[in-house]
Amino acid sequence: MRETDPMRLHPRVRRVLVGMASLAAVGAACGLLAACGGGAHASRGAASARKNHAAASAHPLTHARAVAFARAVVLTAADVPGFGADSDGRGETASDRQLEARLRRCAGGAGPGPGLLAQESRSYRLRRSILDLGVSSEVGVARTPALAAAELAALRSPRVRACFSHYLQLLLKAGHQGGALQGPVRILAGTPPAPGATGSFGWRITATFRVDRVPLSLYVDILGFVLGPARVTLVSSGALRPFPAVIQQRLYTLLLARASARAL
């Protein structure tokens, strides 16, 4: 590869995008509810969660149960054949942390609400020629289904998406490593199917760079659902093209099936 190959830009930028996506996914929304208007939406989700998981709630929700649930649900190497464990760390800087704190304030909260657990799988990566894909999963367990439903409402909030888009753009500009960020970071929202769950959420984050006059688009998809007090999230990324939809759907369905079989 040439020294100016745009793919040299990818690891740092992907870490920033995935790291900020994970910040949303692992429960930042709990601290953002004051500005997100979770209100009636959260109440409906909480009522559904209480109805669907009444039997499970008869047993105390302990940290040990949350840990066992998370370990049984998150992705493993066997789930992503052909991918290897990604040894790249986030490489978070003091500037990154300052911008993350500003993002929380922008969205209306000082930080995540207390939960029983937030656990990530390992990150897995596939690199072949110009193909560069990454995937990981997270499980967060709130203390009650109502708190998890409120977290879901916050993640669906346009204000939260706008704040994330703005501060992702600032982070990426600070860490571009010679590439020029072209235009705003875009976040498109949706609600992927999640039968039996309290509700679901989906984000596609897109950032476009130009390196040595070569355009490079980076994509991060966040697909997740809430089931009782648990929030399960799949985070996938791709350079030049999005993470393959067929693999993404298989992994998302796998996480839903595992969580449903072990509902807290």
User: In whole angstroms, how large is the CA radius of gyration of the chain?
Assistant: 18
Report the pLDDT value the prediction gives residue 72, as an integer from 0 to 100.
96
End-to-end C-alpha distance for the chain, whole angstroms:
49
Residues 20, 101: contact at Cβ < 8 Å? no
pLDDT at res. 64: 92
Check residue 202 and give its pLDDT: 92
What does residue 178 show for φ and ψ, rounded to 5 degrees?
Answer: 95, -5
Report mean pLDDT in 10-residue bins for the chain, 264 residues.
45 60 50 38 42 52 92 96 77 67 62 69 88 90 88 81 78 60 80 94 86 79 93 90 95 97 91
What pLDDT sits at residue 30?
A: 43
**Domain extents for the chain?**
6-261
pLDDT of residue 256: 97
What is the dihedral sign for C-alpha 129, 249, 136, 83?
negative
> What pLDDT does 252 receive?
97
